[in-house]
Structure formats: C-alpha cells, structure tokens
Amino acid sequence: MSKFAPTPEQQAAIDFDGNMVITACPGSGKTSVMKEKIRKITPVLADHKGVIAITFTKKASQELKKRCKHNAHDTKQSFFGTIDSFCLKELILPFISRVWGGNPAECKVVRRLRSPYLLFLDEEYCSPTVENILNDDGFNRLYDAGFVWMNSFAALALHVLNSSESAQRYIKARYSHVFIDEYQDSSLAQHQLFLKLLELGLIATAVGDVSQSIYEFRGGNPELLNCLVDDSDNFRHFQININHRCHASIINYASRLLDPNFQLIQCEEKRIYRRLVTGNLTSVAQQISGRISSWIDNGKWGVSKASDIGILAKKDKSLKLLTAGLNIDYRIYSENPLDSVGSDCSDLYSHLLAFKYGAIPTVQELIANQFELVVLKENNLALVRKEIRALREIEQVDQLIAKFHELASMLGIEEDEESDIAVRTILQQEEIIKQFMPLDDNEVQVMTLHKSKGLEFKVVLHFDLEEWSFPFQQVVNNDWDNPVYTSLIQDANLHYVGITRAENCCVLIRSTLRQNSRGDFSQSAPSYFLRLPQLEGLYG
C-alpha cells in the first residue's frame, strides 16, 4: 500500500473528531479518508469496542477492511459490511425475539418478496419504513411464519432499537462511531437508523455525493444527504472536491454536465472526445476493435493491459450488440440467466458458480461475504464447507445441479426449476461462464453504467448516446411529439458516473443506427446529453 499524503481538505476531515458529513466527488480519495479516520480512532478504544463501517457493496466493504487492517493494525471489535448485514447480524437476530418473541435463528431471509410472502402484507413496498412496520402487522406475521424480508432490514433494526433497551445497551457498549459510505443511496429507514445511532451517543460520519445518486429506483433518496449537510447543529460539513483520478478535461466536461456554471480547470489538452460512427452497435464494435488493439499494443493513454479499458452502455441489450462485433478478448458483466430468475435460489447458485470457476477463491470468502445474510447453524458449517469444496471436482452438469440442491437444502433455501434451467443455459455459453472466473488482464471490461460504479479505467468508451437510448424517455397521453424525460436527474448522474470512471481518456460514441423496442434499426438522433450548450468546446 502506497503512503497516503492527504491534501489539506482531506486532513481537515481526518482530524475532526465530532459528527460530520463529507461530500466527496469521484476520485477524491474518500475511502482513504475513512480508512485514516478509523485507523486513528481504533487504537484508543478499549479492546471490547470498535466502530461500525458500512459500505454500499460487499466488495467495497472488503477493500475498506483490508486497508484498515494493513500492517496488522488492530481494528478491535469493529464491524465492516453492508447495511443489510449490520441490521441482520447486530440487531435483528440478537434482539428481535425481545420485541416479537419467537426464535430468529429459525428464520429464513427472503431477498425478494414474492407470492405467497407478498400476501402477508397490506400493500407492496419498495423500501419499508419503521412506520410501515408499526402500521402493517403483516411484517410481524411474516416473522412468525419464519421469514424476514431483506428490504425491511433497516426498518426492522430501527424498530428493535426503539423497542429494546438491551439492544440499545449493546450498541452503546460495543461501538463508539458509525461510518456510512455512499449515503446518497440511503433509504429513509436507513437514514432514520443512522440518526438513531447518533441519538444513542455514537459519533456519526456520513460520506456521499448527490451527483452520484443512481439508485432511486431501489428506494435511495439523495435529499437525505442534503438534510445532513443542512443540519449544522448536529453535523460539521466537509467538502473534498479535488478529483485525483481524471484528467482535467474529463473533470471539466463531467462537472459542466451537471453544473453549467462550474469553474473550468485550466488544461492544455482535451482528452474527452465525441465520435459519430456509422452503423449499428455491432458494426461499430467491429470498427473500433482495431483501435482498441492498437492502444493496448502501444500503451496509448497509459494502457498497460486490456482490462484498463472499459466499454460502458446504459442497456444490457446494447452490450449484447457490442460484444457480437468485438474482435478482441473481452469480459462482459451483464444480466445473466440466474440474474433474470431473481430468486433466493438463483442468488445462491450464482455464488456457488463463482466459487467453482474461481471468481470467489476460497470457501471462507464465500461463506463470510456471500452467505452473510444466511442464518447458518454452527453444527452445519463444517458439512457446508465440505460440500462446497467438492464443487470444483464435479464436471457433469446433472451432478453439479444435484450438489447445488443439497447445499440449498442445507442452507434452508428453496430450490426452483427456473434456477436449474438457468445454470444449464450458463454452462453452455463460454461468454457467460467468464463472469464467474477471476479477472483476466487480457480482457477488455464490458458492462452497464450502473455496474461501473466504484470502478476506474485508463480509457472509457461510453455508448448509447442516441436519443431514445439515453436518457430514458416516455410518451405520455400518446403525445409522440413531446416525449418526457421521466428520470433525467438520475440519468444525468449516471452519465456523470460513466464519464468519471475514465482516468486518461473518455470517448462518447453515438452510432448512426439505433435499435428500437421492436428490435428494428433506424437512423439515430443525438442524445439530449450531446445537445447541452454548456458542453460546447469542452471535447475533441
């Protein structure tokens, strides 16, 4: 790990000891700031205490934990994980029986609420609040039937904290601080839980960037971050606004996309380009393959390996068209047949395939990070480990699926035929199997804009910049002459995220032919984003 030399604004955030909210742009080093704060706090804590460090993804959590523990640093009893994992392990499982009775160890976590589970609730919820928990006794009845729904974890955990003095004593005795990253994607229940931890006396730090809010469709609300910024009575606001990742011309373009009045950074060279390429996405991919190969061979833009290049698009179907024309090795991260099933069983099978083919290297990592929301009885753990290890020796598809069935049964997950069919489909397609293998430096990375969040590349090729492709449009009242951009702010943020994945070069590509919803191709028009006047003169 290289020596971290903080900027003055980073150092000010590190040194402050009270409640704070950090707004941080892409490439600002916010993870390093969180790491430094945690490493500063933990040495003075008693051995039985720690901090709560919550990140948006398991991958981000593993990275933060690794950096905090560098050089055998003792993080004491600190928790590193996602908000769902914290709620389940630290509050719901230990304390919900004090509120609702029963035996939570016998409960099964339901990731996606489907029939018959939906019938327990009075209405469909995206991200329930504690008020929903109190007013809809279906959540209690769902628990009595042996199920807890993952989307309700934050609300359930808050209900537990509000109702159980034992839970409150435990949190106050065990933890001194709480950190939550990517706060712009927090739901109302998660926000209320954060404030409850503050109320219990934990020193609270929220880190986020409203401009990178891209998950409102999951219940995230960026205004909750703004509420903390505005709450000067309880939080000190720190801004970390220097992007250390991207070339200045990329910063200028991305910043002006969201803020027409952004003060441009002086730079001699433009490294963000717009290109109109003839044909549909498949023929465009054929045309650019040679250019990509040349960049790799000659080290253009600082590229030292194929995986330094990211090909990004808004839609999965666009990725399929692109990869049909690529004449270079690539790795596509798109929705696979198991993702499409979207069941607890399909999630399990995805993790097991990732272990079998090496993307998850060890049994311990699989259990610790992928099964974090499975209520696993201790006496079954050794047997589960043994059965998982056996997966790498199985070659026959039928035997593999039979082993998946055994593991699903041991983990209390109901198997389904759709997931079996999905596994068979995946194992017949080498391109999809690659998703479950370790990263190969010799492959260009191909993914949706959403999947690129948190990643960085030397070069980004950003597609889908045709009208009707991106941003999303919808015809209202059959008025085809005046379609409406129904999610323009979120789409602009997503465009911003895609651009700022690029360190040294970003190419914005529009194809002359666009595929419509019927699968037909027609002449394209430039995207709304390519027509913004504040971006003129900022690209090559």
Does residue 177 contact residue 51 with C-beta atoms inside 8 Å? Answer: yes
Tokens of 507: 């190419």
Residues 6+ away with beta carbon under 8 Å from 252: 262, 264, 265, 267, 538
517 is in an annotated binding site: no
Q: Which two tokens stand for residue 96?
A: 């919900």
Residues 494, 222 contacting (CB under 8 angstroms)? no
**Is residue 232 marked as binding?**
no
- The verdict on whether residue 448 carries a ligand-binding annotation is no
Rounded distance between C-alpha atoms, residue 129 and residue 498, angstroms: 31
Nearby residues of 7 by Cβ (< 8 Å), 6 or more positions away: 29, 240, 242
Beta carbons of 512 and 275 less than 8 angstroms apart: no
Q: Is 107 annotated as a binding residue?
A: no
Whether residue 24 is annotated as binding a ligand: the answer is yes
**H or E segment to which residue 238 belongs:** strand 236-240
Six-digit token pair at 272? 């963000």
Burial of 91 (0-12, 13-18, 19+ CB in 10 A): buried
Does 50 belong to an annotated binding site? no
Tell me: is residue 28 an annotated ligand-binding position.
yes
* Sheet with 272-277, edge to edge strand ranges: 272-277, 502-511, 457-462, 309-313, 444-448, 330-333
φ, ψ (nearest 5 deg) of residue 237: -95, 130
Helices and strands per DSSP (H, E), number in the chain: 23, 16
* First CA to last CA distance, the chain: 36
**Is 30 known to sit in a ligand binding site?**
yes
Q: How far is 513 from 519, CA to CA, in rounded Å? A: 12
Measured CA to CA, the distance from residue 532 to residue 413 in angstroms comes to 50
What is the full DSSP assignment across 206-261?
EEE-GGG---GGGT--THHHHHHHH-TTT-EEEEE---SSS-HHHHHHHHHHH-TT
Q: How far apart are CA 124 and CA 356, in angstroms?
A: 36
- CA nearest to 509, candidates 451, 456, 452, 460: 460
22 - beta bridge partners?
207, 238
Binding-site positions for ATP: 24-31
Q: Which residues are annotated as a binding site?
A: 24-31
